[in-house]
Amino acid sequence: MLQLRNVDVCYGSFKALTDISMSVDSGELVVLLGANGAGKSSLFNAISGLNKPAAGEIEFEGKRLDGLKPSGIVSSGVVQCAEGRKLFPMMSVQQNLMMGAYVHRRDKAGNKQRLEDVLELYPILREKADQPAGSLSGGQQQMVAIGRALMSRPRLLMLDEPSLGLAPLIVRQMFETIQKINRLGTTVLLAEQNAFAALKIATRAYVMENGQLVMEGDRDTMLGNEEVRKAYIGA
């Protein structure tokens, strides 16, 4: 479904990503593990079109994504829920969610249905619908961010560290809903530092270090791998 071939990303003379080749198949939940600064967000931003890759190809459902504008990539069905959420803080929760449906703005009935689905996934947001998104707790803001991404009707949803800065209980619920979203048919690419929790719900995983992919394997291989355990799980 998503194919990256030999992708390089540079910031000026600094090479943030070197020779990244990876794939995500339809229906999978693929986890991207890596420490801070390993290049996970750079990779996501390259796929989303926020940074242009210096070399390589990015393909989604057979169509080249590199070179498209960010808006074109969202319309193609690849939607990112970024680290730090990037909500519209002064808009209400409902407006934030509806902005997610921007590329589908002509389909009013479809968006209404979609909004119902998101509110069913996160019932607490129904109560908070009229509050400014910036006034919500961290966990609720993360729900709005994921909900907003779902409103864009992704076929591939990329989640960048959704557990960052959340309390352990909230993190667990967060992973449960991510698994649910995946089971309902959305392919997920999840960047995480919280390796154990992420691997538990994963189909496959990649490990990223210093801008390179250094390991790949299915869930059980990764959970059993000595280096992964030492570096990311701490057991």
Give least dist CB 179 to other proteins, A.
22
Check residue 162 for interaction with other proteins (CB under 8 A): no
Q: Write down the residue that tokens 């960047």 correspond to.
A: 191
Closest to other proteins by CB, 18 vs 131, is 131
Check residue 102 for interaction with other proteins (CB under 8 A): yes
Residue from 10, 103, 170, 223 that binds other proteins (CB under 8 A)? 103
β strands within 61-121, DSSP E? 63-64, 78-81
Check residue 115 for interaction with other proteins (CB under 8 A): no
Give least dist CB 133 to other proteins, A.
9
CB 99 within 8 A of CB 124: no
Strand, coil or helix: 28: coil
Give least dist CB 75 to other proteins, A.
6
CB 7 within 8 A of CB 57: yes
Q: Please report the DSSP string for 159-224 in residue order.
A: EE-TTTT--HHHHHHHHHHHHHHHHTT-EEEEEES-HHHHHHH-SEEEEEETTEEEEEEEHHHHHH
Residues 62-91 binding other proteins (CB under 8 A) are 69-71, 73-75, 79-82, 86-91
Residue from 42, 140, 142, 152 that binds other proteins (CB under 8 A)? 152
Check residue 50 for interaction with other proteins (CB under 8 A): yes
Among 150, 135, 138, smallest CA distance to 80 is for: 150
Check residue 48 for interaction with other proteins (CB under 8 A): yes
Separation of alpha carbons 79 and 159, rounded Å: 9
**Site residues for other proteins per CB under 8 A:** 48, 50, 69-71, 73-75, 79-82, 86-91, 95, 99-100, 102-103, 105, 134, 148-149, 152
